[in-house]
Amino acid sequence: MSDQDNPSTDFIRQIIQDDLKSGKHNEIVTRFPPEPNGYLHIGHAKSICLNFGIAQEFGGRCHLRFDDTNPAKEDTEYVDSIIEDVRWLGFDWGDNLFYASDYFEQLYDWAVTLIETGKAYVDDQNAEEISKGRGNLQTPGTNSPYRDRPAEESLKLFKEMREGKYGDGEKVLRAKIDMAHPNMNFRDPVLYRIAHAHHHRTADKWCIYPMYDYAHGQSDALEHITHSLCTLEFEHHRPLYEWFVENIDVPATPRQIEFARLNLTYTVMSKRKLLQLVSENHVSGWNDPRMPTLSGMRRRGYPAEGIRNFCHHIGITKYQSTHDVGVLENEVKQVLNRDALRFMAVLDPIKVIVTNYPEDQVEEMDAVKNPENPDLGTRKVPFCRELYIERDDFMEDAPKKFFRLKPGGEVRFRCAYWLKCEEVIKDDTGEIQELHCTYDPDTRGGENPPDGRKVKGTIHWVSARHAVDAEVRVYDRLFKKENPDAAEGSFLDHLNPNSIEVKTAKLEPALADVEIGETVQFERLGYFCVDIDSTEDTKVFNRTVPLRDSWAKIAGKS
RNA sequence: AACCCCGUGGUGUAACGGUAGCACAACAGAUUUUGGUUCUGUUUGUCAAGGUUCGAAUCCUUGCGGGGUUGCCA
């Protein structure tokens, strides 16, 4: 199943189709414009899939542009991670890699023109005065005392601002629009501020930096972007975006269209909060497998295809919805079910002795690598007298619907034999030590015996003599609340204290060959990805997502 | 009570004036050497009231509800 089966027909794509049909545009150009001040998350994936997806579907192109107009918050570390993440997601911008800082000179020249034509002025007020002068939602603002200073004076001051004559905050350049406008963005927005800060690309060349509103539309125009797609919070900025495009002699007229940003249950998405999780060590880093970042999901074992399919299926609207994280997990599971190789691993082992199995014998059992793709063939799994099974797969006082191992009961050991539990060995405290079982030689490979006996359950196992130890990190949701943002108190109050559980597991030996970054299925348990923390001696696995567990549901009910 | 945007099952999303469909979730069953997968079926919806129309989720009006906007962040 692929994305292409059902082409999207959201309102943005409809606008684009109309623009193509009417001849307004012959080629579609979009852009993904992150600010390099943090790591990309699943919300960005929605925007990436939208912008790059549209370029692919309509035979256009999509630029990657770093919106690097605020040196105080930005860093090359973020530039590098963003490039890596977009590539990993599966998109390519060819030669179209740009930076807003590439346009600083041109933006400066246009600002000069705005001053010359009386559409901008240098304001000497400080931030507080400007804020006060702007009025509020009910009351109009008042003009700055510097609003009507002669253009030549503003020109001189603006030049001096650039030359570094003033300190941070001493002066700003403002557009001269309307201090009583109902849209606050029109109350003489700031175009340039002074910031004596080191920029990760332009170094110390500049000490004045353009604001988002002033830089973004012009950058779009310079790149001949046809459709500038952004999230809903920029709706009020669109008229200003258009004002600049109209009042400046730009080479193209891009159109801004807004869509709803992605919200997911059981997580937070704001960069500020994600940064806080990292800096206060609630997680191990931006790429912690519990983070909604692309690097976290990659490390968790989410395939890029699953994320792309998710973004495709949630669609694009203006309705501020919250998607169930289960939908994402479902897309991930679909891809993994198709692709992941199957292995057996025991996370919470209990020993089984096969009392009637020869002490020194070892058999290599054949096990299918992936039932969804039988062409992949089989692997060998060693079977001997001592095994491990999952503690959950045995119950002394089992309910009727418990199809696994119980005293006197018989189950199939996957791809091996049918075993019957003869004796339960306990220690002084009553804790189960080991199980003594007998096997039926007529069931080799797990086949049905000739006498027509039936068995309800099949459980996984690992040979105790051949097992490889590994660390397994079992992850759960990072937050306990569906919406940690809306819940009472700080979002940090709702962190799930059990979002990670570390176990030492017993693996079948073939698992030793799985490489870092690969995701496999531990049969009956879930999907697990080899983590970068793995060493020569010990592999580390992250649980990507558990398999559906309908027994847990039945057990939970009774 | 300024201005702007948005209201379709539990959660999302389609239907472009003409049979309210799909996915996830839930429930029931079938298949199964993973209580996985797959397959079949069931339950649940157009925020409200008016209006236009042969016909309204769709167009209009009003109300109600949700969100956004008062950075020298993006």
CA A555 / C1′ B28 distance in Å = 18
Nucleotide showing the shortest C1' distance to residue A372 CA: B37
DSSP summary character for residue A201: T
**Structural tokens at position A302:** 């989410």
Domain co-membership, A479 together with A384? no
**Contacts of residue A471, Cβ cutoff 8 Å, sequence gap at least 6:** A502, A503, A504, A505, A533, A538, A539, A540, A541
CA A81 / C1′ B13 distance in Å = 32
CA A479 / C1′ B57 distance in Å = 36
Give the helix ranges, DSSP H, for A176-324: 212-222, 238-247, 271-279, 294-300, 304-314
What is the CATH classification number for the domain harbouring A537? 2.40.240.10
Query: Do residues A411 and A459 lie in contact, with contact meaning Cβ atoms separated by under 8 Å?
Result: yes
Read out DSSP for A38-50?
Answer: S--BHHHHHHHHH
pLDDT in tens, chain A (558 residues): 334 456 678 999 999 999 999 999 999 999 999 999 999 999 999 999 999 999 999 999 999 999 999 999 999 999 999 999 999 999 999 999 999 999 999 999 999 999 999 999 999 999 999 999 999 998 999 999 999 999 999 999 999 999 999 999 999 999 999 999 999 999 999 999 999 999 999 999 999 999 999 999 999 999 999 999 999 999 999 999 999 999 999 999 999 999 999 999 999 999 999 999 999 999 999 999 999 999 999 999 999 999 999 999 999 999 999 999 999 999 999 999 999 999 999 999 999 999 999 999 999 999 999 999 999 999 999 999 999 999 999 999 999 999 999 999 999 999 999 999 999 999 999 999 999 999 999 999 999 999 999 999 999 999 999 999 999 999 999 999 999 988 888 999 999 999 999 999 999 999 999 999 999 999 999 999 999 999 999 999 999 999 999 998 888 876
Measured CA to CA, the distance from residue A395 to residue A411 in angstroms comes to 13
Domain co-membership, A374 together with A395? yes
Nucleotides of B under 7 A from a protein CB: 2-8, 10-16, 23-27, 33-38, 66-74
**Any domain includes A490:** yes
Q: Could you identify the residue whose CA is nearest to the C1' atom of nucleotide B7?
A: A319
Q: Could you identify the residue whose CA is nearest to the C1' atom of nucleotide B8?
A: A319
* Torsion sign over Cα A286, A272, A269, A231: negative
Domain co-membership, A423 together with A487? no
**Structural tokens at position A121:** 């002025």
Domain co-membership, A347 together with A404? yes
**Any domain includes A44:** no
CA A327 / C1′ B25 distance in Å = 9
Domain co-membership, A435 together with A486? no
What is the CATH classification number for the domain harbouring A147? 3.90.800.10
A169-173, long-range: CB < 8 A, 24+ apart: A169/A126, A169/A127, A169/A193, A169/A194, A170/A124, A170/A126, A170/A194, A171/A122, A171/A123, A171/A124, A172/A122, A172/A123, A172/A130, A173/A111, A173/A115, A173/A120, A173/A121, A173/A122, A173/A123, A173/A208
Question: Residue A3: what pLDDT?
Answer: 41
Q: Could you identify the residue whose CA is nearest to the C1' atom of nucleotide B70?
A: A136
**Any domain includes A63:** no
Nucleotide showing the shortest C1' distance to residue A550 CA: B35
Q: Which residues pair with A380 in a beta bridge?
A: A366
Active-site annotation of A, residues: 35, 261, 271
Of A440, A463, A486, the domain-final residue = A463
Query: Do residues A114 and A151 lie in contact, with contact meaning Cβ atoms separated by under 8 Å?
Result: no
Q: Any idea which residue has 């003033």 for tokens?
A: A166
**Any domain includes A62:** no
Q: Which residues pair with A490 in a beta bridge?
A: none
**Any domain includes A359:** yes
**Any domain includes A150:** yes
Nucleotide showing the shortest C1' distance to residue A8 CA: B14
CA A26 / C1′ B30 distance in Å = 53
Please, what's the b/e burial string for A87-122 (b: 16 or more CB within 10 A of its CB; e: otherwise)?
eebebebeeeebbbbbbbeebbebbbebbeeebbbb
Read out DSSP for A316-356?
Answer: --SS---B-HHHHHHHHHHHHHHHPPEE-EESSEEEEEETT
DSSP summary character for residue A401: T
**Structural tokens at position A16:** 């684009």
DSSP summary character for residue A78: H
Domain co-membership, A349 together with A401? yes
Of A151, A179, A211, the domain-final residue = A211
Domain co-membership, A477 together with A419? no
* Torsion sign over Cα A227, A233, A234, A237: positive
**Structural tokens at position A466:** 């051949």
Q: Could you identify the residue whose CA is nearest to the C1' atom of nucleotide B14?
A: A9
> What is the total count of domains within chain A?
3
Domain co-membership, A358 together with A454? yes
Question: Residue A156: what pLDDT?
Answer: 98
Read out DSSP for A452-487?
Answer: ------EE-EEETTT-EEEEEEEE--SBSSS-TTTS
Give the strand order in the sheet containing A190-194: A120-123, A172-175, A190-194, A208-210
> Which has the closest alpha carbon to A519: A327, A234, A302, A330?
A302
Nucleotide showing the shortest C1' distance to residue A524 CA: B34
Length of chain A: 558
Query: Backbone phi, then psi, for A511, in 5-degree steps?
Result: -65, -15
Domain co-membership, A454 together with A487? no
CA A11 / C1′ B50 distance in Å = 29
Question: Residue A505: what pLDDT?
Answer: 98
CA A10 / C1′ B63 distance in Å = 30
Of A211, A228, A260, the domain-final residue = A211
DSSP summary character for residue A499: S
Query: Do residues A414 and A428 lie in contact, with contact meaning Cβ atoms separated by under 8 Å?
Result: no
Domain co-membership, A421 together with A437? yes
Measured CA to CA, the distance from residue A163 to residue A154 in angstroms comes to 14
Neighbours of A25 (CB within 10 A): 18
Query: Do residues A333 and A521 lie in contact, with contact meaning Cβ atoms separated by under 8 Å?
Result: no
**Any domain includes A231:** no
Coil, strand, or helix at residue A443? helix
Domain co-membership, A431 together with A447? yes
Q: Which residues pair with A432 in a beta bridge?
A: A426
Domain around A167: 118-211
Nucleotide showing the shortest C1' distance to residue A319 CA: B6
Measured CA to CA, the distance from residue A130 to residue A189 in angstroms comes to 10
**Any domain includes A139:** yes
Domain co-membership, A503 together with A448? no
Q: Which residues pair with A545 in a beta bridge?
A: A527
Measured CA to CA, the distance from residue A96 to residue A202 in angstroms comes to 19
Nucleotide showing the shortest C1' distance to residue A551 CA: B35
